[in-house]
Amino acid sequence: MKTIMITLKDYVLIERNKQLTYNMPFLKIFGVRLSKFFPNVLLGFDVIAFDKWVSPHENESTYQAVERRFGKAGVELLRKLVE
């Protein structure tokens, strides 16, 4: 696995860009604002809060729950937010 080192400034810019880029698609797909799961650029996307909101069934992953409820577009967007 290749290790990539970035500065805090670069990380913040990357996360802020995610917020700006995916805000409207997120609202369109999930029906809620991205800011609900993106408390600030230092913490990034809050996967735990999103998982609680999606409420996967027992033995179902978050990705599976997203696909079931919001389709493949939801899964693709989620993958972009957590990369």
CA separation for the pair 73, 13 (Å, rounded): 25
How confident is the model over 53-79, as pLDDT tens digits? Answer: 999 999 999 999 999 999 999 999 999
Of 56, 50, 53, 59, the C-alpha closest to 82 is: 50
| Average pLDDT estimate for 7-28 | 90
| Average pLDDT estimate for 10-20 | 87
Give the Cα-Cα-Cα angle 23, 15, 42 (nearest 5 degrees).
Answer: 120
At 8, the pLDDT band (50, 70, 90 cuts) reads confident
Of 15, 17, 37, 40, the C-alpha closest to 27 is: 37
- What local confidence, expressed as pLDDT, does residue 1 receive? 62
DSSP character for 17? H
DSSP character for 74? H
Q: Is the pTM of this model over 0.75?
A: yes
